[in-house]
Amino acid sequence: EPEVTQTPSHQVTQMGQEVILRCVPISNHLYFYWYRQILGQKVEFLVSFYNNEISEKSEIFDDQFSVERPDGSNFTLKIRSTKLEDSAMYFCASSYNNPRLAGWSSYNEQFFGPGTRLTVL
């Protein structure tokens, strides 16, 4: 069964360093997402990405964050200068949605990856 994969599973970095979290979405999926979960808290939406553009981003997703689909398979989240409060679990997700449809008929399952635990020291 196809699945979303994420690497690394755990990343430790020093404050101020740049990190890139990598995700390989399911191959025929068109929409990609990043979510963040600070330890002990809820999972929060960061950004959605379609057709090489950000379709929506939350207020958490400030200028320190960027996303990219550098090739046909990877989807990355970059944090330019990490802060202590960036320590969290980061989940990637992907879905296949027909962009010409809206409403319930367009729904397709959003599959989550296993997450990358980022620790900023």
Partner 1 sequence: AQKVTQAQTEISVVEKEDVTLDCVYETRDTTYYLFWYKQPPSGELVFLIRRNSFDEQNEISGRYSWNFQKSTSSFNFTITASQVVDSAVYFCALSEAAKGYQKVTFGTGTKLQVIP
Chain positions contacting partner 1, by CB under 8 A:
31, 33, 35, 41-45, 48, 50, 55-56, 89, 91, 93, 95, 97-104, 106-110, 112, 114-115, 117
Q: Between 113 and 120, whose beta carbon lies closer to partner 1?
A: 113
CB 39 within 8 A of CB 88: yes
| Min CB(13)–partner 1 separation in Å | 18
Q: Between 101 and 121, whose beta carbon lies closer to partner 1?
A: 101
| DSSP assignments along 85-106, one per residue | GG-EEEEEEEE---TT--SGGG
Distance CA(15)–CA(21), nearest Å, equals: 16
